Structure 1
Amino acid sequence: MKARIAKLVFGLFGLMFAGHLLADEVPFNQQQFDQTVAAGKPAVVYFHADWCPTCRAQQPIVSRLAKEPSFKPVTIFVADFDKESALKKSLRVAQQSTFVVFKQGHEVNRSTGQTQESAIRATLQGAL
């Protein structure tokens, strides 16, 4: 019984660790975002709205790219376009489906409305 519990615990730990081997796609959190950018780590803020058809086309592409090993160092912060008013203002974002890319603590790229995987890939690569 103890061996079975130990295997379960180690298995769960392994699953949690495996998630950190790939890029993080996380809900926007101001404190976490500030820490990530201040540390100079690669980050992307993706302004998403559930009602937006362009965002719905982008989402599976972003999720697929986030799982690629080349994007492992990138944190993709998914910001709710309708709720993150202060963030939209501070980053001067006027439209949903916008990616704002940070590298070494500075914004280096942005794009809006991209639905082609190659274009989204190129935008995210700007963080690396």
Structure 2
Amino acid sequence: MTMIRALFAGLVAIALLGSVPASAAEWKEFTPEALAAAQADGKPILVDVFAAWCSVCRAQNPILVKLTREPKYRDLVVFKADFDTQKDDLKALNVRSQSTLIVFKGGKELDRSAGDTSQISIEGMLDKTL
């Protein structure tokens, strides 16, 4: 009976681990210090500037979640920045509106968009970081 329980526990553990993408991008809260650290490490980076009330931001979110679960973005660091509460921090990035997406490779900005809800063009932006 103990062996059956151990086997069952092992199968449950495998099933649970299998449901979590092992190679998904890392999502973090935006801070200037965290961004600077990722840039210094030469990481591929996406800064997602959102506002809770923004319908475009709500449309972008499932696209970003889906794309960043793909194995090719496993090294991508995604910073979620709140447009309403982090305005001072975002000034350094010259962010003027919510629903802004900015991609970096290390310290170099590669592209940015505002209001884009096309999965194809968002994926194109993310691909620049590879």
For normalisation by structure 2, the TM-score amounts to: 0.81
Give ranges in structure 1 of 5+ residues lacking alignment: none
Per-residue CA deviations over 1:77-118 (Å, capped at 9, x if unaligned) read 010111111222100010100011111321111111110100
Q: Distance in 1 between matches of 2:106 and 2:79?
A: 16
Matched residue, 1:30: 32
* Residue-pair matches, total: 120
Match of 1:97 among 96, 99, 117: 99
2:113 paired with 1:107: no
Q: Which runs of 5+ in 2 are unaligned?
A: none
Asked whether the equivalents of residues 39 and 105 of structure 1 are also in contact (C-alpha less than 8 Å), the reply is no
Matched ranges for 1:69-88 at <5 A? 69-88=71-90
Task: Provide runs of 4+ in structure 1 moved above 3 Å.
Answer: none
Asked whether the 8 Å contact 1:37–1:104 carries over to 2, the reply is yes
Greater radius of gyration (CA) = 2
1:30, distance to aligned residue in structure 2 (A): 3.0
> 1:1-128, aligned counterparts within 5 Å?
11=13, 15=17, 21-128=23-130
Q: CA RMSD in A?
A: 2.2
> How high is the sequence identity, in percent, across the aligned residues?
36
